[in-house]
A and B are shown apart, each in its own frame.
Chain A
Amino acid sequence: MEYLLQQIINGLTLGAIYGLIAIGYTMVYGIIGMINFAHGDVFMIGAFISIITFALLWMGGVTSIPLAIVLVLFTTMLFTAVYGWTVERIAYRPLRGSFRLAPLISAIGMSIFLQNYVQLLQGARIKPLPPLISGGIVLMEGDGFAVQINYTQMIIIAVTVALMTAFTLLITRTPLGRAQRACEQDRGMAALLGVDVDRTISLTFVMGAALAAVAGLMFALYYGVVDFFIGFLAGLKAFTAAVLGGIGSLPGAMLGGILIGLIEALWSGYFSVEYKDVAAFAVLVLVLVFRPTGLLGRPEIEKV
């Protein structure tokens, strides 16, 4: 029982990170109907920017850890958002109106480019981040096993819940969110109502990248190491989460992220750590076979 609870806590933490990345996939798919394969690498860039910012802050003499984390959070979101915007501007926008596969191929190219770019600039070796936050709260004790939620996990879950709330408000209550939903349904018509479609799409990429940046920071805090290749697996898992939840659906992305995190944690806890990725991707296969629209997705009607 205690062991199960511990795995659920670990799974939720992991799921929060996947959920934040998955939102970027699902929003971009919703608005322009393409899978942004470079999104995982934008997450990786976010992780790197956060480590670099931590290093700069220490050199600049910032010793307060809470202050450092807040500063890093905002800096990382800002710079990663610029990456997200640039990727859309140079790799996808020129191909809009081209055949459907073109931006997809461009996205794969962008992904390879970003990986190599970081590898060249930062080296191929892993970059460590010393543990910043230690300790935690013991929730339950019994049979010589203590259920613990550490402070890093609490921060990850709290920040994720706060961001997802803000994000849901943005989509449902602000003109930008309404414009995004309008563009999702009919871009030409949205333009006729005065919505700047190109800008709305750019902002979608910016928002997705900013959320992925937060996931990158959380990843660095949680695991303590990053390298130029982390975006591949994390991106694929988050994509699986988006598909599981129903691609194009925001609550679906969040739900899918949490489910993938839980599946992974429970599988490593009870079966084998080596096969945790197999478990996550087996879910993808099963979903695609039995429920291609995902848990919360709606069937796509082919437009004429």
Chain B
Amino acid sequence: MTVVPLLSVQHLTMRFGGLVAIDDLSFDAADREITAIIGPNGAGKTTVFNCLTGFYQPTVGRLTLTHGGGTFLLERLEGHRIAKEARVARTFQNIRLFPRMTALENLVVAQHNRLMRASGYTVLGLLGHPGYRRAEREAVELARHWLERTGLADRADRDAGSLPYGAQRRLEIARAMCTRPALLCLDEPAAGLNPRESAELNDLLLAVREEERIGILLIEHDMSVVMGISDHIVVLDYGKRIADGSPRTVRNDPTVIRAYLGEEDDEELPPEVLVDLRGVPPGC
């Protein structure tokens, strides 16, 4: 009997009018592994995330998430239930924090549903019920824990919008972790980070995988991050899967090299030839 994967994407297709953004994509992502989705710009990586988190309704396909809490068909869940019940958390390429809330408050909002229950749907909270106070203390503790893990402990009370770029990126990951996810989807977490910050990010993600025992789905262009920490890589080009495997196999896959990593192996080729190579349909 095979192990049921944490996330199973089957025959996912997303069309916008005549444009096929994702074309019959299938892949699995295992629990406690880092699965990277890579591919040239416009390959449909972020669209996969948008389908997973309920922003888009897939044209065709099944997205199954299985963990201790049960089995969920993500394409059928409403947006907020994907976070609440299926426990999928996500960050964005263009950071989406609540800019006019403090860093700490951003992390407490992420624990909304637990606090809502503890506050007796607001009434007990308003009356200062001890059960709610305890829940809120725990929420703040978890928030502080993640602020510390992301090196933001001393900026807890600053407005999220006023933090420097790198700090905002880390805060977004901290906020996603505060929802206690089973699957964490990170959309280009290393974008705009300097080499030192990006090395710290690698350590953070590896630690999260080990300690929290969750699956991570990663979109990334920075190959040092992808090759350094991924357990499994899915390569997309024009919405199709062109390779799927360990970093070693993907790196040596000729299709991938042609479509994506071409530059590294063909450094002597003039740029216009590289452009042409990118246009070659996969599998040629």
B contacts, CB < 8 Å to A? 53-55, 79-84, 89-90, 96-101, 105, 108-110, 112-113, 115-116, 119, 121-122, 125-126, 175, 179
Contacts and interface: CB of A to CB of B under 8 A. Distances in A.
A169 to B, nearest CB: 6
Nearest to A179: B112
Contacts of B101: 178, 181-182, 185
A173 B99 contact: no
Contacts of A166: 126
B186 to A, nearest CB: 13
A175 B99 contact: no
A176 B122 CA distance: 6
Contact of B179 (A175, A181, A182, A193): A193
A126 interface: no
A188 interface: yes
A192 interface: yes
A170 interface: yes
Contacts of B98: 181-182, 185-186, 189
A195 B54 CA distance: 13
A192 B81 CA distance: 8
B96 A191 contact: no
Contact of B109 (A170, A193, A197): A193
Contacts of A182: 98, 101, 109, 112
A191 B80 contact: yes
Contacts, number: 84
A173 B175 contact: no
Nearest to A185: B98
A175 B122 contact: yes
Given A191-B83, A192-B90, A197-B80, A178 B119 contact: no
B112 A170 contact: no
A130 interface: no
Given A174-B126, A181-B101, 15 more contacts: A166-B126, A175-B112, A178-B109, A182-B112, A185-B98, A186-B96, A188-B79, A189-B98, A191-B54, A191-B83, A192-B53, A194-B81, A194-B112, A196-B80, A197-B79
Contact of B96 (A179, A189, A195): A189
A91 interface: no
A190 interface: yes
